[in-house]
Amino acid sequence: MQMRAGVARKTIKSIRQQAFEQSHLFDSHLESSLDFERVRAAAKDGYGKPFLLIDSSIIREKSRRFAAAMPRVRPHYAVKANPDPRVLKVLIEEGAGFEIASTAELDLLTSLGVVAGEIYYSNPVKPRDFIAHAAASGVEWFVVDSVDEVKKIHSVKADAKLYLRIDTPNIGSDWPLAGKFGAHASEVREIIATSAKIRADLAGVAFHVGSQCRNPENWRVGIEKSRAVFDQMAKAGLNPRLLNIGGGFPVRHVKPIPAIEVIGDVVNRALEMFPASVRVIAEPGRFLVSDAGYFVCRIMGTARRAGKRWMHLDAGLFGGIMETAEGLKYKVRTDRSGPDISWNVAGPTCDSIDVVMRDEPLPSDLQEGDYIYLKNAGAYTTAYASNFNGFPLPEVRVI
C-alpha cells in the first residue's frame, strides 16, 4: 500500500513537472493586446471603411521584450509586415534596424532617416535595377540563395556583402517559407565555390524558420546548420561574419505559442557556437506589430444559401484579411452575445476565393451593419490589401 502511494506521489510529481514544462513552453507570457474597449470606441467614433487600429505603446513593449529575450540579436524589422510610416517611426525610436523586400521599402526608410548601410535586402531574387538603386542609395548587405543571384549582384556591385539563405526546417510554422526559398546542401557548395572563385564577399548565413513558427527547435537546427556553413565558407577562403536568424517569432491567435523568452533560451544557447565577433541579427515582422492592432470591418449583408448562414464583410481576402487563406485563425470579437452558430464569412468581392472563414462559430444574431473585430491583426493585413473590385483600401489609425 505504502509502495503504491509512493508510486502515485511520483506519478503526480512527474505530471506536475510535465505540466510545468508545458506551461513554460506554451502561452507563458502575458497577453499584450490592444484594449478592446478602445477599439469599440474608435469604431463608434466614426466609420467610413475598414480600419486597422494600432497602439504604438504595444510596438514599443514588444521591441523591448524581444531585445531582453535575445540580447545578442539585433532585430531588423521586416517592413513587409506593416509598412505604415508611423509604425516605422516607432521602431526607429526603439532602435530597430530594418529588412526590405523592395526599393519602395528602402526609399520609405531612407525618407525617414534610416541609414541605408544598416538595411538588409533580404529578398532572395531582386531585379537588377533594384540592386543598382539599392547600391547607389548605400545598401551594402544583400541576400542570395542561388549562384545566379550571386553573379547578378556581383556584376552590379562587386563589393556587395552577401549572405547566403539556407534551407532549414519549417516544421510547426503556420506560414511555411521553405520550399520556395533557401539553398540546399549541393547548392550551398556551389554558391560558396562560385563566390570564392569570382571573389564575391559571401559574408554570412541566413535562414527563416517560417512565419508564425510555434516550434523553437527550428531555430536551434537553423543555427547549427548555419555553423556548419560558416565552416565551409572559411575553408573556401571566405570571411563569414554575419548570422541572420530571420523572422517567424509567433504571436497569440487561437493556438498555443511558445513565449519569446522560451525561443530566446534556445537561440541564446545555440549562439554560443559563434564567437562574439560574429554579428547576429533577426528579421521579426509579425512579432513586433501584430499584437498592437485590431482590424475592424463591418457586415455588409447576410444570406442563407443551401441552409448555411453567410455574412459578407466589407473587407475580405483582397481587403486585408488574407492570411486566413493559408489557415491562420484570428480571434474574432463582435458586439453581439447570441448563442454561436456556424457562419461562412465572405469578403465583399465577386471572386469565389474571397471567403475568409468557413464554419466559424459566431453569434446567431449578427446582422447587417454590425462590426467584426479581428484581434492581434497588426501584421500582414493592411500590407496585403488591394482595391480589387473597387472596394476601398482599409485605413490605418495609430494611437
User: Which residues are the active-site residues?
Assistant: 350
Tell me the C-alpha to C-alpha distance, in Å, between residue 100 and each of 81, 107, 134, 175, 212.
Answer: 10, 10, 10, 19, 19
Region for residue 44 given its phi and psi (left: phi exceeds 0; alpha: psi -120 to 50; beta: otherwise): alpha
- CB-wise, 194 or 211, nearer to ligand PLP? 211
As given in the structure block, the three cell numbers for residue 4 are 503504491
Question: Do residues 302 and 368 make contact, with C-beta atoms less than 8 angstroms apart?
Answer: yes
Name the residue nearer to ligand PLP (CB basis): 257 or 366.
257
Q: What is the largest CA-CA distance in the chain?
A: 81
Distance (Å, whole) CA 324 – CA 196: 44
* Per-residue binding letters, 255-294, with ligand PLP (x by CB under 6 A): ----------------------------xxxxx-------
* Distance in angstroms (rounded) separating the CA atoms of residues 81 and 109: 14
> Least CB distance from residue 219 to ligand PLP, whole Å?
12
Grid cell, residue 232, equals 565551409
Site string for ligand PLP, 128-147 (x = CB under 6 A): --------------------
How many chain residues touch ligand PLP (CB under 6 A)? 16
- Assign 21 to helix, strand or coil: helix
Pick the closer one to ligand PLP by CB: 81 or 156: 81
Q: Whose Cβ is closer to ligand PLP: residue 291's or residue 314's?
A: 291
Task: Name residues contacting ligand PLP, limited to 184-223 (CB under 6 A).
Answer: 208, 211
**Which residue, 182 or 394, has its beta carbon nearer to ligand PLP?**
182
Q: Is 246 in the site for ligand PLP (CB under 6 A)?
A: yes
Site string for ligand PLP, 91-110 (x = CB under 6 A): --------x-----------
- What's the rounded Cα separation, in Å, for the pair 346 and 316? 6
Binding region for ligand PLP (CB under 6 A) out of 40-48, 182-190, 193-201, 241-249: 241-249
Q: Which is nearer to ligand PLP, 33 or 349 (CB)?
A: 33
Which CA distances in Å does 308 have to 258, 342, 345, 359? 36, 8, 11, 9
CB 378 within 8 A of CB 82: yes
Among 122, 168, 218, 232, binds ligand PLP (CB under 6 A): 122
Stretch that binds ligand PLP, among 53-61, 150-158, 246-254, 255-263 (CB under 6 A): 246-254
DSSP symbol at 38? H
Cβ distance to ligand PLP smaller for residue 99 or 354: 99
- Report in angstroms how near the CB of residue 220 gets to ligand PLP at its nearest: 17
Tell me how far, at minimum, the Cβ of 210 lies from ligand PLP, in Å. Answer: 7
Find the part of the chain contacting ligand PLP (CB under 6 A) among 47-55, 106-114, 242-250, 388-396.
242-250
Q: How many CB atoms lie within 10 A of CB 196?
A: 15
90 residue type, one letter = V
d(C-alpha 200, C-alpha 194), whole Å: 8
Site for ligand PLP in 14-33 (CB under 6 A): none
Please report how close the Cβ of residue 293 comes to ligand PLP at its closest, in angstroms.
Answer: 13
Q: What is the DSSP string of 105-130?
A: HHHHHHHTT--GGGEEE--SS--HHH
Q: Alpha-carbon Rg of the chain, whole angstroms?
A: 23
**Residues that bind ligand PLP in the complex, under the rule CB under 6 A:** 78, 81, 99, 122, 177, 208, 211, 246-249, 283-287
